[in-house]
A and B are shown apart, each in its own frame.
Chain A
Amino acid sequence: MAGTTLDDYTDRYAARVHGMTASEIRALFAVANRPEVVSLAGGMPFTAALDHSHLAELVSAVLTHHGASALQYGAGRGELRLRELICQVMALEAVTASPEDIIVTVGSQQALSLLAQVFLDPGDIVLAEGPSYVGALGVFAAAQAEVMHVPMDDDGIDPAALAARLDQLRKQGRRAKFLYLVPNFHNPAGVTLSEHRRDLVVELAEQHDVLIVEDNPYGLLGFETAPGRTLHSRSSSRVIYLGSFSKTFAPGMRVGWVLAPNAVREKLVLVSEAQILCPAMLNQRVVTAYLEHYPWQKQLKDFRTLYAARRDAMLSALTCLMPTETKWNSPRGGFFVWLTLPPGLDSKVMLPRALAHNVAYVPGVGFYADGQGCSQLRLSYCFPDSDRIVEGVNRFAAALKQEQAIQGLFTEHPPPRKTRPSNAVSSIVDNRRRRYAPGPEIT
């Protein structure tokens, strides 16, 4: 008897899908969408802040005046008018390009997929920050590439560690196909690559002849100051630049773009045409109308103000509620705080407890290709309002406190003195209570 696997296609699958499995994390996140749960997990922009009636007029106008062409196939590289406008958007970050240099993609996620198809063979090496954007890791894994992480600190990727990694690869006779970076308001780490390091990273890439993929969805969402000059503006022949309207306008549009050197661009267009024929025309027309008729620069400013207030709410709640050994960064833009738990705690193990407290986060392990990140997690402040964020951090703190208590129980050490066990326990609890005491602004 052969039995059944309930999958009659097993021996037909390509090797690249063999590792794709249902994960229990996914099961846990099914709960995170319930209204009772404060989700500090998803990186969803707050699209409710957009003027929906104005957008309705724009969409209506697109269909009224350009209905036939908006519902038709279009050019594989995207609409010319949109590409012209994308150049204006990029100019805000001092990226100079002509519309001919740009390919419109289905979000920058498709751009990543195109790059993987064009550059990656199974076993190829991709260098990436550690941690790195989970969607990129998924694309690289599907391409059967080997991701090597390079550590980062508060100033972004560590150039010394990058140099060491590149040297090591050179000694082994291997070469990374590209270095994937999110230099501005990183997802998930929240940090921004410092100006000085931008020069060093580009120099290292030149020295070792490695391409850079610069993924910049958050660059226009700096709260206090703009991030540093793009890597692309330092070396346009070495840097492939990805942009997106997902964070600055609406992810539901699925419109992003890639700016690449000419030869690469031609390959990307061919692969994109093979994948999707052309990006959705209607969505391109709506984004075009948005950029032509909607006060999008004011909208960006509004988004920055909104997200900055939410970041402040999260940071002050964390400051009040987290135990001393917890560490987190203070992002200057974007959506995310990256938090390191007190020693011994595992963010994936703790997730069910957090969900039982009606709060969700993303365990750090998902942002690494090699199993790192157990003690870390990502909190996002982009979607819930400030009150919900404070409530979420409160619940997170309660879950963390319980988890620490359990962890403390199972940290192997000599058993408590049998004569006074309750005192030993109560002194731990008292100590923690003091450390977790919320500030007056929270209560």
Chain B
Amino acid sequence: MSRYVWVLAGGLSYEREVSLRSGRRIADALRDRGYAAELCDADGQLLSRLGSAPPDAVVIALHGSTGEDGGLRALLEMLDVPYVGSNSAASALAWDKPRAKALLSQVGVPTPRGVALSQHAFRELGATPVLDEVVEHFGLPLMIKPSQGGSGLGAAAVETRAELPAAMVGCFSYGDTALVEQFIAGSDIAVSVVELDGGVRALETVEIVPKDGVYDYTARYTAGHTTWHSPARLKPSVAARVTELAIQTHQALGLRDLSRVDFIVDETGEPWVLEANVAPGTTPTSLLPLAAEASGVSLGELFAELVERAITRGGDSCKAL
């Protein structure tokens, strides 16, 4: 009898639509490999369904908080349901960009200098002095993004001091804490890290060249609006360094099965880690499928092996706490 796998997708997040596209792709790929894969929304019925007829394993294709902040993963651990991907504690760490950056800095992984600022900080200290101080300290341009979340939602590059307040308001619509970072000009590079055949391996590097120069939501999810190069057009020494840092990031954050590490490689060839994602997108315009293809691994092959790993690992051994 074929394995029964639930692909969790949708959820109540701004990345719902992207998640559904990712989930469908994974479910199709698994079905092609002979799995009985079902697409399930993360809604009010999920837990009772898990309790009454649990699948052999769960693949989490939920983007945004439910899929990535560790909460749902902790519940799966509690219910002893095997699932693909990082455990709840590591997911919670990677989800919180400022915390993840702090840890990466400690182990020598370069990330852009920045500061996480809550709405509360601005309320207490006043926006003008805080923003003045940030500009004084980091200079311009700056990158503003919600400390949690993805798909470029709520993120803005700011070139002048005058643009900062509007960018902060836009960012705070998506969350209570903003990450304000030095803007590093350079090439956007993404490296997917997978655990296959018992070892950690980086897939082919992917370089992202948005048509309008900005890798925003439109550029990410409109076919034809971005050009991707895989492998990235990097010097071999830089590519090797990026690959090494991706694996180091995956391991330092305690990630498991698969992740995607996003970089900027600056004009001097120095790579900077921006963030690590525990639920990388698998839509037709996402980076993981591109990297997998360039590496000679099909999406079905990849997820089939990760599902088998999760089942072997079992639900109980997933427990993080």
Chain B residues within an 8 Å CB radius of A122: none
Interface readout for A332-360 with B: 1 if CB under 8 Å, 0 if not?
Answer: 00000000000000100111110100000
Q: Assess A415 versus B233: contact at CB under 8 Å? Given A5-B224, A28-B14, A352-B153.
A: no
Interface residue? A437 (CB, 8 A): no
**B window 123-169: CB within 8 A of A:** 123-129, 151, 153-154, 165-166, 168-169
- A31/B168 in contact, CB under 8 A: no
- B130: nearest residue on chain A (CB-CB)? A415
- A31/B14 in contact, CB under 8 A: yes
Q: Assess A6 versus B168: contact at CB under 8 Å? Given A410-B122, A415-B128.
A: no
- B17/A30 in contact, CB under 8 A: yes
Shortest distance between the CB of B90 and any CB in chain A (Å): 25
- B14/A27 in contact, CB under 8 A: yes
Interface residue? A425 (CB, 8 A): yes
- B12/A5 in contact, CB under 8 A: no
Question: Complex formed: what's the CA distance from A31 to B216 in Å?
Answer: 19
- A24/B217 in contact, CB under 8 A: yes
Interface residue? A421 (CB, 8 A): yes
Q: Interface with A: B76-84, B100-108, B170-178, which one?
A: B170-178
Chain A residues within an 8 Å CB radius of B319: none
Q: Assess A415 versus B126: contact at CB under 8 Å? Given A31-B12, A31-B13.
A: yes
Question: Complex formed: what's the CA distance from A27 to B290 in Å?
Answer: 22
Chain B residues within an 8 Å CB radius of A22: 217-218, 221-222
- B165/A26 in contact, CB under 8 A: no
Q: Assess A3 versus B123: contact at CB under 8 Å? Given A352-B154, A415-B129.
A: no
User: Which of A5, A31, A349 lies in contact with B170, CB distance below 8 A?
Assistant: A349
Shortest distance between the CB of B145 and any CB in chain A (Å): 13
User: Which of B119, B153, B227, B284 lies in contact with A406, CB distance below 8 A?
Assistant: B119
**A window 204-232: CB within 8 A of B:** none
- B233/A27 in contact, CB under 8 A: no
Interface residue? B18 (CB, 8 A): yes
Q: Assess A3 versus B173: contact at CB under 8 Å? Given A21-B222, A31-B14.
A: no
Shortest distance between the CB of A262 and any CB in chain B (Å): 43
- B165/A411 in contact, CB under 8 A: yes
Interface residue? A419 (CB, 8 A): no
Shortest distance between the CB of B167 and any CB in chain A (Å): 9
Chain B residues within an 8 Å CB radius of A414: 128
- B18: nearest residue on chain A (CB-CB)? A27
- A27: nearest residue on chain B (CB-CB)? B17
Question: Complex formed: what's the CA distance from A37 to B43 in Å?
Answer: 12
Question: Complex formed: what's the CA distance from A352 to B173 in Å?
Answer: 6
- A20: nearest residue on chain B (CB-CB)? B222
- B218/A23 in contact, CB under 8 A: yes
Q: Assess A3 versus B227: contact at CB under 8 Å? Given A412-B128, A413-B128.
A: yes
Chain B residues within an 8 Å CB radius of A27: 14-18, 151, 153, 217, 221
Question: Complex formed: what's the CA distance from A27 to B18 in Å?
Answer: 8
User: Which of B119, B169, B209, B228 lies in contact with A6, CB distance below 8 A?
Assistant: B228
Chain A residues within an 8 Å CB radius of B151: 27
Interface residue? A325 (CB, 8 A): no
Question: Complex formed: what's the CA distance from A421 to B216 in Å?
Answer: 37
- B126/A421 in contact, CB under 8 A: yes
Interface readout for A7-26 with B: 1 if CB under 8 Å, 0 if not?
Answer: 10110000000000111101
| Total A residues in contact with B, Cβ cutoff 8 Å | 42
- B169/A421 in contact, CB under 8 A: no
- A34/B43 in contact, CB under 8 A: yes
- A354: nearest residue on chain B (CB-CB)? B173
Interface residue? A153 (CB, 8 A): no
- B223/A7 in contact, CB under 8 A: yes
Interface readout for B41-75 with A: 1 if CB under 8 Å, 0 if not?
Answer: 00100000000000000000000000000000000
- A13: nearest residue on chain B (CB-CB)? B224
Interface residue? A61 (CB, 8 A): no
- A26/B126 in contact, CB under 8 A: no
Interface residue? B92 (CB, 8 A): no
**A window 403-431: CB within 8 A of B:** 403, 406-407, 409-416, 421-422, 425
- A3/B228 in contact, CB under 8 A: yes
- A351: nearest residue on chain B (CB-CB)? B173
- A4/B128 in contact, CB under 8 A: no
- B209: nearest residue on chain A (CB-CB)? A3
- B151: nearest residue on chain A (CB-CB)? A27
Chain B residues within an 8 Å CB radius of A415: 126, 128-129
- A409/B119 in contact, CB under 8 A: yes
- B227: nearest residue on chain A (CB-CB)? A3
- B164: nearest residue on chain A (CB-CB)? A410
Question: Complex formed: what's the CA distance from A30 to B9 in Å?
Answer: 12
User: Which of A6, A28, A412 lies in contact with B285, CB distance below 8 A?
Assistant: A6
Chain A residues within an 8 Å CB radius of B166: 410
- A24/B153 in contact, CB under 8 A: yes
Chain B residues within an 8 Å CB radius of A274: none
- A349/B169 in contact, CB under 8 A: yes
**A window 355-404: CB within 8 A of B:** 355, 403
Shortest distance between the CB of B171 and any CB in chain A (Å): 10
Chain A residues within an 8 Å CB radius of B225: 5, 21
Interface residue? B253 (CB, 8 A): no
Question: Complex formed: what's the CA distance from A414 to B129 in Å?
Answer: 9
- Which residues of B are at the interface with A, using a C-beta cutoff of 8 A? 12-18, 20, 43, 119, 122-129, 151, 153-154, 165-166, 168-170, 172-174, 207, 209, 216-218, 221-230, 233, 284-285, 290
Known A409-B119, A410-B166; further 6 A-B contacts with Cβ < 8 A = A3-B209, A4-B228, A5-B223, A5-B228, A349-B173, A410-B127
- Which residues of A are at the interface with B, using a C-beta cutoff of 8 A? 1-7, 9-10, 21-24, 26-28, 30-31, 34, 36-37, 346, 349-353, 355, 403, 406-407, 409-416, 421-422, 425
Q: Name the 7 nearest CB pairs between A and B, nearest first.
A: A7-B224, A7-B223, A410-B165, A30-B17, A415-B126, A3-B229, A24-B217
22 chain-A/chain-B pairs, Cβ below 8 angstroms: A2-B227, A3-B207, A3-B227, A4-B227, A6-B224, A6-B228, A21-B218, A21-B225, A22-B218, A24-B216, A27-B221, A28-B14, A30-B20, A34-B43, A350-B173, A352-B153, A406-B169, A406-B172, A410-B122, A410-B169, A415-B128, A425-B123
